């Protein structure tokens, strides 16, 4: 964000010969502000505040208000409270362990309370008798009631009680710059700065998004009448950010589409109708919708570049098969690439079953083929005429030639590099591309993350699937858990036991898994056929173990997290997960997806003694099988970057907006961005001048995306 004055205004002033009056402007350096010397200016710069206008854009990260303050007399032991009181005594005390504790006693009209900050004796310098403190934290019993502040704000000395009844902004601060000082600075200049702020958004946009104008919003976030008002102001600032990002992403998408020449398939409804008639089930609404979106893309002369997203078991394969048939009834060839041989084989088998009534057999191409089979497969692909090739990255090898590759489908797309995906695409002439992913990301988020892709989401499970019973069991129940697993094994079922393996502690983890494997083989599973599967095994050995498990030649698979995504063993009904607290929720969800694939009731047991926090997290996981809900919770807990490498996607960091909290706002922003770009793709209309300015000043990419001429 920049507050530099528009050059026209400058120009106008120069012409009229008026020298700018030495008054406050948005671009006045902070050093000119009263109360800011060189030292403070340095601290402010660390927060990104260099000119007066930056103060306005330094947004409180939270608020305290009287409605959240507990009268001291009611601050009960065991509760987490916010209190407001005047410091009547203070000092630094040593403890027996040598830790120095800053203590203060605060008082309000109802009583007194002791506050303690262990290890922070330096607070003695900044907190004085007579200061009013607003503190939040747990109340404990320690020779009497005592609050250990998690956060606090020093309001300074003031008239009795004035802090109460008011909403207080709490700003992100930095060392050497207290929240109080920042608040004072904003407060002091707010009235002078607000009238200088110009609205970048048109009335129409403001009205449709139902957000306040910028100057109002800034007043609301800095000096709100109520928490609700603060939220409304914040929403406006978040919306502005989201709209900018959506404009960039949607414009990038628009340009990419225009540039992508491709093929226009004709929806002949020959093979696809035959499949529909032969299907042993009815498609879900989500599948029908996704197929319609894909058909639409394939009919258009532009090149399809679509991501099909659906939770484990949502039924992506059949959607992919419909798109394949559409290409094939146009005489084209199709290639489906999967990340492992096992998955490729599995696809070949299930696609083969689906297409048997149509007399179509897919051609499998993996590294496991013998020389003769391989030659036969290669010559099939090189012949003209429709063919459905399914394989691993063996499909992109140099020796592979397609007569006319019209559609490329990539399963578990995140397992491939950009390079490999492009290589497969290059085997044909601008083939349509369908990417598939089982990572459930809410649609609006996916659209924001993958700007240049179109996205279809399967957000509905096929009916009749048995829910997996998920339970959390403590160490005390360990023997019982394995006893239960044995009863399932007695019924002819199969069992997974999963151990976490984290890169940073790989050696120790692998050792632990191996030790446990040996204990299981010697103990509860001594009568069973058990194998240990981990990532350090050679790939063919790993595949061999998975194959034996799939074919029922193994009863129990003890595995680190390498259990193949998407592998389908319908007879496996029990998954025991050790150290569940060490997994992310989405990872647990992927693992749990390995059971519950067949008709029988399945179970997922999270085994171990976990802390209260983890228990809550895992309890949430146990209560739902909705991958999108789980992904949301995971995102909230771990943050975007961690989960999706948001940086890799070129997603700008948001200052105010939060893609999860502001999902609805983001949807509105995307809708409006599409609408705006439809009518004025380069943002040259008079209504969009402010927006254009906002984008070009704030985002380097905008210069390219909205270049005129
Ligand atoms: P994923 O999205 O995880 O790749 P699959 O395509 O493997 O899921 O489908 C999972 C299972 O659900 C398969 O056994 C498939 O036959 C079945 N299935 C797919 N669509 C439906 C449907 N509409 N009704 C019933 N079963 C379905
Ligand atoms: Mg799949």
Q: Is the CB of 400 under 6 A from ligand 1?
A: no
pLDDT (average), residues 675-694: 93
Q: Is the CB of 310 under 6 A from ligand 1?
A: yes
Q: What ligand is nearest to the CA atom of residue 350? A: 1
The alpha carbon of 252 is separated from its chain's Cα centroid by a whole number of angstroms, namely 21
In the CATH scheme, what architecture does the domain 469-624 have?
A: 3-Layer(aba) Sandwich (3.40)
* 474-515 confidence digits (pLDDT tens): 999 999 999 999 999 999 999 999 998 766 677 888 888 899
Residue whose CA lies nearest to ligand 1 atom number 21: 462
Number of H helices, E strands in the chain: 25, 21
pLDDT at 8: 56
Helix (H, G, I), strand (E, B) or coil at 515: helix
pLDDT of 153 > 80? The answer is no
**Ligand 1 atom with minimal separation from the 317 CA:** 6
Q: Is the CB of 598 under 6 A from ligand 1?
A: no
**Ligand 1 atom with minimal separation from the 458 CA:** 2
pLDDT of 159 > 70? The answer is no
- Centre of ligand 2 from the C-alpha of residue 558, in Å: 23
List residues, by chain if needed, whose CB lies under 5 Å from ion ligand 2: 566
Dihedral (CA of 349, 355, 357, 361) sign: negative
- Centre of ligand 1 from the C-alpha of residue 315, in Å: 3
In the CATH scheme, what architecture does the domain 64-170 have?
A: Beta Barrel (2.40)
462: nearest Cα among 247, 286, 273: 286
Other Cβ atoms less than 10 A from the Cβ of 280: the count is 7
pLDDT at 421: 84
Q: SS in 3 state form for 196-233?
A: HCCCCCCHHHHHHHCCCCHHHHHHHHHCCCCHHHHHHH
Q: Provide the percentage of residues in the chain whose pLDDT is more than 70.
A: 92
Q: Is the CB of 317 under 6 A from ligand 1?
A: yes
pLDDT (average), residues 239-258: 88
Where does the pLDDT of residue 690 fall: very low under 50, low under 70, confident under 90, or very high at 90 and above?
very high
Q: Is the CB of 409 under 6 A from ligand 1?
A: no
Q: Where in the chain is the domain with CATH 3.40.50.300?
A: 271-458, 469-624
Question: How far is the CA of 337 from the CAs of 411, 541, 582, in angstroms?
Answer: 6, 22, 32
Least confident of 69-83, 168-182, 646-660: 646-660
Give the chain's mean pLDDT.
87
Q: Which two tokens stand for residue 141?
A: 């019993």
pLDDT at 5: 45
Which of 285, 287, 290, 315 to mutate for ligand 1's pocket (most ligand atoms within 8 Å of CB)? 315
* 301-317 confidence digits (pLDDT tens): 888 999 999 988 899 99
Q: Is the CB of 312 under 6 A from ligand 1?
A: yes
Q: Where in the chain is the domain with CATH 2.40.50.140?
A: 64-170
**Ligand 1 atom with minimal separation from the 354 CA:** 16
pLDDT (average), residues 195-221: 95
**Ligand 1 atom with minimal separation from the 319 CA:** 6
- Centre of ligand 2 from the C-alpha of residue 401, in Å: 26
pLDDT at 647: 43
**Ligand 1 atom with minimal separation from the 282 CA:** 23
Considering only residues 283 and 3, tell me which one the structure prediction assigns the higher pLDDT: 283
Q: Is the CB of 318 under 6 A from ligand 1?
A: yes
Q: Is the CB of 439 under 6 A from ligand 1?
A: no
Q: What ligand is nearest to the CA atom of residue 340? A: 2
* 94-118 confidence digits (pLDDT tens): 877 778 899 999 998 899 999 999 8
Where does the pLDDT of residue 253 fall: very low under 50, low under 70, confident under 90, or very high at 90 and above?
confident
Considering only residues 421 and 548, tell me which one the structure prediction assigns the higher pLDDT: 548
Helix axes 663-679, 227-259, angle to 10 degrees: 50
In the CATH scheme, what architecture does the domain 271-458 have?
A: 3-Layer(aba) Sandwich (3.40)
Q: What ligand is nearest to the CA atom of residue 564? A: 2
pLDDT (average), residues 420-438: 90
Residue whose CA lies nearest to ligand 1 atom number 22: 462
Length of the chain measured in residues: 709
Name the range with the highest mean pLDDT among 12-26, 133-147, 339-353, 626-640: 339-353
pLDDT at 317: 95
Question: How far is the CA of 243 from the CAs of 606, 644, 669, 672, 691, in angstroms?
Answer: 42, 21, 5, 8, 9
pLDDT at 531: 96
- Centre of ligand 2 from the C-alpha of residue 365, in Å: 18
pLDDT (average), residues 679-704: 90
pLDDT at 4: 46
pLDDT of 342 > 70? The answer is yes
């Amino acid at each position: 964000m920049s507050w530099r004055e528009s050059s026209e205004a400058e120009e106008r002033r120069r012409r009229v010969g008026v020298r700018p009056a030495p008054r406050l402007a948005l671009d006045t350096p902070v050093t000119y502000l009263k109360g800011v010397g060189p030292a403070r200016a340095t601290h402010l710069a660390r927060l990104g505040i260099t000119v007066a206008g930056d103060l306005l854009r330094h947004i409180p990260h939270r608020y305290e208000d009287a409605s959240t303050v507990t009268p001291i007399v009611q601050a009960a032991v065991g509760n987490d409270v916010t209190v407001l009181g005047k410091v009547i005594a203070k000092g630094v005390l040593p403890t027996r362990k040598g830790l120095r504790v800053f203590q203060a006693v605060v008082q309000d009209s109802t009583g007194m309370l002791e506050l303690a900050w262990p290890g922070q004796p330096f607070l003695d310098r900044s907190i004085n008798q007579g200061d009013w403190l607003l503190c939040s934290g747990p109340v404990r019993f320690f020779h009497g009631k005592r609050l250990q502040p998690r956060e606090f704000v020093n309001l300074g000395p003031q008239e009795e009680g004035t802090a109460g009844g008011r909403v207080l902004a709490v700003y992100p601060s930095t060392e050497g710059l207290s929240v109080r000082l920042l608040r004072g600075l904003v407060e002091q200049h707010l009235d002078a700065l607000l009238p200088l702020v110009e609205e970048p958004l048109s009335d129409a946009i403001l009205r449709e998004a139902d957000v306040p104008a910028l100057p109002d919003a800034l007043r609301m976030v800095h000096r709100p009448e109520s928490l609700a008002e603060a939220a409304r102001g914040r929403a406006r600032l978040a919306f502005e950010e989201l709209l900018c990002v959506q404009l960039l992403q949607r414009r990038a998408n628009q340009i990419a589409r225009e540039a992508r020449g491709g093929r226009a398939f004709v929806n002949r409804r020959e093979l696809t109708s035959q499949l529909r008639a032969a299907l042993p089930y009815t498609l879900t609404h989500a599948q029908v919708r996704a197929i319609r979106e894909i058909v639409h893309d394939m009919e258009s002369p532009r090149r399809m570049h679509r991501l099909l997203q659906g939770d484990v078991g949502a039924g992506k394969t059949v959607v992919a098969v419909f798109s394949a048939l559409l290409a094939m009834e146009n005489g084209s060839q199709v290639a489906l690439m999967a990340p492992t041989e096992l998955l490729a084989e599995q696809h070949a088998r299930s696609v083969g079953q689906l297409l048997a009534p149509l007399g179509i057999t897919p051609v499998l191409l993996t590294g496991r083929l013998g020389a003769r089979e391989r030659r036969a497969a290669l010559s099939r692909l090189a012949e003209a005429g429709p063919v459905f090739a399914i394989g691993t990255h063996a499909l992109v090898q140099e020796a592979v030639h397609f007569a006319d590759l019209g559609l490329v489908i990539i399963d578990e797309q995140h397992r491939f590099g950009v390079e490999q995906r492009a290589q497969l695409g290059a085997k044909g002439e601008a083939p349509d591309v369908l990417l598939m992913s089982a990572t459930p990301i809410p649609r609006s988020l996916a659209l924001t993350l993958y700007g240049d892709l179109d996205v279809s989401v399967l957000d509905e499970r096929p009916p009749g699937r048995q829910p997996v019973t998920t339970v959390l069991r403590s160490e005390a129940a360990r023997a019982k858990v394995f006893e239960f697993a044995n009863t399932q094994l007695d019924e002819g079922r199969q069992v997974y036991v999963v151990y976490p393996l984290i890169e940073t502690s790989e050696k120790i983890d692998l050792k632990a898994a191996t030790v446990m494997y040996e204990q299981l083989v010697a103990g509860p599973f001594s009568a069973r056929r058990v194998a240990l599967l981990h990532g350090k095994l050679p790939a063919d050995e790993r595949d061999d173990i998975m194959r034996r498990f799939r074919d029922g030649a193994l009863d129990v698979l003890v595995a680190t997290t390498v259990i193949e995504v998407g592998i389908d063993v319908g007879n496996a009904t029990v998954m025991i997960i050790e150290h569940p607290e060490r997994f992310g929720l989405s990872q647990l969800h992927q693992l749990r997806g390995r059971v519950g694939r067949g008709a029988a009731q399945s179970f997922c047991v999270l085994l171990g003694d976990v802390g209260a926090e983890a228990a809550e997290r895992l309890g949430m996981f146990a209560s739902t099988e909705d991958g999108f809900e789980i992904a949301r919770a995971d995102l909230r807990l771990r943050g975007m970057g961690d989960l999706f490498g948001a940086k890799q996607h070129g997603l700008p960091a948001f200052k105010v907006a939060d893609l999860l909290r502001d999902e609805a706002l983001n949807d509105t922003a995307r809708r409006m961005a599409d609408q705006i770009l439809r009518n004025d793709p380069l943002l040259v209309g008079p209504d969009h001048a402010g927006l254009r300015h906002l984008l070009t000043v704030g985002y380097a990419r905008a210069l390219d995306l909205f270049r005129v001429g």
